[in-house]
Amino acid sequence: MKFSVDKHEKYVVLKLEEPKFTNDNTPALKSEFVLLNTEGYRNIVLDLSSVKECNDAQDLSALLAGDRLCKTADGIFVVCCVNKSIAPIIQMSNLHQSITFVNKLDEATDLIFMEEIEKELRGGVDKG
């Protein structure tokens, strides 16, 4: 499985650089989510801009794993740049009801920063 990882202070962007989302690359993707999470990244952005095809909603189960890991770590999992050809599969599988999807990478990073600021504010209020 080909992918790139772009690590930042508050989040990491994982870009799947495969034309197809299949059950062949799902286990490796889940493993990468776990690895990033154990490295301390609680906010993960999955960039699917290179993915043009997905034939089975079950192949998208890795997204649920990533979302669970981030939520457990009090973070957020965001999927961005979903191709029009795989969007119907996401709708059909109801993943959009539990996972955060945005159109562009900068929307994902904005969302993460807003979440982080909110957490800091809530933490500051709780201490006072």
Question: Which pLDDT tens digits describe the chain residue by residue (128 residues)?
Answer: 899 999 999 999 999 999 998 888 889 999 999 999 999 999 999 999 999 998 888 888 899 999 999 999 999 999 999 999 899 998 888 998 999 999 999 999 999 999 999 988 988 655 44
As to burial, measured by CB atoms within 10 angstroms (0-12 exposed, 13-18 middle, 19+ buried), residue 32 is buried
**Rounded Cα–Cα distance for residues 98 and 6 (Å):** 24
- Domains with residue ranges and CATH for the chain: 3-127 (3.30.750.24)
For residue 27, the one-letter residue type is: P
Q: DSSP secondary-structure letter at 53? A: B
- Which residue type does 58 have? Q
Kindly report the pTM of this predicted structure: 0.92
Q: pLDDT digits over 16-42, tens only? A: 999 998 888 889 999 999 999 999 999
**What is the token pair recorded at 65?**
């794993």
